[in-house]
Chain A
């Protein structure tokens, strides 16, 4: 029989574990319409005609969070055949609160007491047979983690779906029952009988969403209100609290009859861990150590004393191997042999005396990059040499031409590494060599027209590959996050950091999006979903991308090398800039109308510490990773094709068309746009076409900025203008993929526009101040620019230091 089972339960009750167990791979993830609450559906592994819907984890069916509204709308409108209510046996009293509400819906309920293995181990006793009799619904014991009793639970669900509708066994006190009976009679007589009680109780609680939904007239409302008021006076409490208290009282009587707790006073293991982990003095150091470990393993952009971080190695492999020009060695087999062969070959054929003489000349003249190249030659390492040569050869060439010095080094290099070179070691003949995606596709496009070749290799593979290159590193990060989440530490991080983040209008839970965002903004923004308060979530989404992401690293690295002689402070200053931007934005925005009011108070359940299963960690990693791939993949595909078109279509000698290269008088569409709007950036110090084009390209993927620019073009920029350019590109609108993620999470075009607009304006203001105030030190002050910068600084100071406007405060506290 085709039936639908809805899984309902508290957060952390093991619902998701059970869902995965029941459905295996037959599941799909989507969103509930209109809200960013995840919707998971699947089919039973053993009965594919049974559909299972995983409702969001909720504590009650009240109308206060989107999760609760989604869950109860589904239950009352879609009317699944049966509800499987998962109850955490180790926290049974609190968990049964939801059960009492579910039983009123007029849908058969099966209660599955989960974590029975833990309950038994601790010596506690739950008399499930007795509980079943008292609740008036089947109760089964299960352990989702150990896959015990789940078949029985499903069996009961199938039976219950066909059986009679349940009758709630709990009743409220006399005056309340009286009022409920009146309400049923007055407004609900035309509703299906089994739903009447649920609606009546909700109307008694003055649930606005239900009143609206049932379309009750003012007159009837007044009539009902009399009944409610009477009950309230008699009970000396407000209606909602009367019901809540009655539910807990009822659960209390259940507990007395069915539950036996061995000892309640002793501290649990989890409590003992908390004494250390959330200790007044130790909490922050422990947090810093954990984060440092994760960060140094996954993201560290600079090599540590013990080598590159695992994440960097994986990204290098993906970018240079899988999406590189040639390919990679499987498990590195053959890499060593090839390197040795190449070193020997280079010694003989490339690093000839003439070659070295040229480089020496350049070193003496202090030409950019010459030192790096000469250093690699001395070390005899071809791979280092090749990297340095690839980066700096064109700038060396320019140095020689400018100074009218004859040189031969490029010819030597080209001849020795060109196709006609004799004895050049071939990568594929060493070890186990796997061809990269471009190398695999190359033969297929050998005879293709050049535009098609360009579209596929430069447009599609180049653009999409640049983003997918981050996937391995992201998966590694998600793996760690899944573990920290699964074991319960993540909730403690939010708790410990809450007081810090509170000060600038964010929540303790904002930290995770920012940590993820230092890898990639797209999953970072998606991670903001765990923040319940809409205001905190919006603020987090808006500020997360201020943290330099992995794709911004190349920009920082390049500028550091080209304009600041590799100064150590540039990269940390970028992070500092990001953090400062978050703090200042937080404080400023908190005082605006949109974000006004006291922050939502921090109330959060801390799940007991436990070792998560490998399966659940891997699944969580993959779910996050896959949605990153999907999102980044599609948006980047479209935008990289567009950018490719902008780069290759244009005018050469006044004729419009497709060109592989543009002459001195030629102009690509992208450059034309750059020329047209570059004046915007003049006050920031980089009002020229290349920098503008680079900034536009940054919208596709931030590392594209480097691609457009190349080392050479920086020569036109003074270090100050370069830093201003860096600051602008770090803080302005993120790439299209991240903007797409903002749109999805904000779930509103207006808010997306506001977020992106704010980021751009903030970036512009910051870069303006850096450039104009910086000019003071170089002695070439621009009066108008300086006045503008002082004005901007003044406005920001005002926004930061002004007292919170009173009218906003009042409005928020009554809301």
Chain B
């Protein structure tokens, strides 16, 4: 497992686990960040990341990206 913050741009990975406070995790889950779902990084800016998830673009901060774990 590796955090989203370390993934390479453009590569598609599968989400294994979403951490963080229940409130934030719930919000991420409703946006589609659930285990088993593929994600890829579209762009990064100063540690903040734009990802492609279920065809939508979602921006997450670096702190949040460290808590989203992906398959290797």
Contact = CB atoms under 8 A, between A and B. Distances in A.
A270 B57 contact: yes
A478 B24 CA distance: 32
Nearest to B40: A265
A64 B31 CA distance: 13
Contacts of B28: 603
28 contacts: A59-B31, A60-B30, A62-B26, A91-B55, A93-B55, A94-B32, A94-B56, A97-B30, A240-B22, A248-B32, A248-B36, A249-B36, A264-B55, A274-B42, A274-B43, A274-B57, A279-B45, A280-B46, A495-B48, A496-B45, A499-B47, A601-B61, A602-B48, A603-B27, A603-B28, A603-B61, A606-B57, A608-B57
A491 B54 CA distance: 19
Interface string B54-72: 1111111101100000000
Interface in B12-31: 20-31
B34 A248 contact: yes
A446 interface: no
Interface in A269-285: 270-271, 274-275, 278-280, 283
A601 B54 contact: no
B37 interface: yes
Contacts of B26: 62, 64, 240, 244
A605 interface: yes
Contacts of A245: 34-36
Contacts, number: 115
A603 B31 contact: yes
Nearest to B42: A271
Contacts of B60: 601-603
A77 B57 CA distance: 34
Query: Interface residues of A: mostly helix, strand, loop or mixed?
Result: helix
Contact of A602 (B35, B43, B44, B64): B64
Contacts of B22: 240
A403 interface: no
Interface in A234-257: 240-241, 244-245, 248-249
Interface in A58-108: 59-60, 62, 64, 90-94, 97
A594 interface: no
B55 A278 contact: no
Given A93-B54, A283-B45, A499-B46, A604 B34 contact: no
Contacts of B63: 598, 601
A498 interface: yes
B43 A278 contact: yes
A447 interface: no
A601 B64 contact: yes
A59 B50 contact: no
Contacts of A502: 61
B50 A605 contact: no
Q: Interface size bucket, A side?
A: 35 or more
Interface in A599-624: 600-608
Given A274-B57, A601-B64, A603-B28, A495 B45 contact: yes
Contacts of B20: 601
Interface string A148-169: 0000000000000000000000
A498 B61 contact: yes
A275 B10 CA distance: 12
Contact of B50 (A278, A280, A600): A278
Given A606-B57, A606-B59, A608-B57, A499 B23 contact: no
Contacts of B43: 271, 274-275, 278-279
A813 interface: yes
Give the interface centre of B50, B52, B56, B63 by most chain A CB atoms within 10 Å.
B56
Contacts of A264: 55
Contact of A64 (B27, B32, B50): B27
Contacts of A495: 45, 48, 50, 59
Contacts of B31: 59, 94, 603, 605
A271 B64 contact: no
Interface string A518-534: 00000000000000000
B48 to A, nearest CB: 6
A496 B44 CA distance: 10
A100 B4 CA distance: 28
A280 B30 CA distance: 29
A569 B64 CA distance: 42
Given A280-B46, A495-B48, A602-B64, A62 B30 contact: yes
A90 B55 CA distance: 8
A327 B4 CA distance: 63
A421 to B, nearest CB: 66
Given A240-B22, A245-B34, A248-B37, A274 B56 contact: no
A753 B32 CA distance: 41
A93 B55 CA distance: 8
Interface string A765-798: 0000000000000000000000000000000000
Minimum-distance CB pairs A-B, first 8: A602-B61, A60-B30, A59-B30, A606-B57, A93-B54, A601-B64, A94-B54, A244-B29
A90 B54 CA distance: 10
Contacts of B55: 90-94, 261, 264
B45 A280 contact: yes
A68 to B, nearest CB: 9
A92 B56 CA distance: 9
Nearest to A241: B29
B33 to A, nearest CB: 9
Contact of A499 (B21, B32, B48): B48
A495 B55 CA distance: 19
B67 to A, nearest CB: 9
Given A93-B55, A283-B45, A601-B64, 19 more contacts: A59-B31, A94-B55, A240-B29, A241-B25, A244-B30, A244-B34, A248-B34, A249-B36, A271-B43, A279-B45, A280-B46, A499-B46, A499-B47, A602-B61, A603-B27, A603-B59, A604-B58, A605-B59, A606-B50
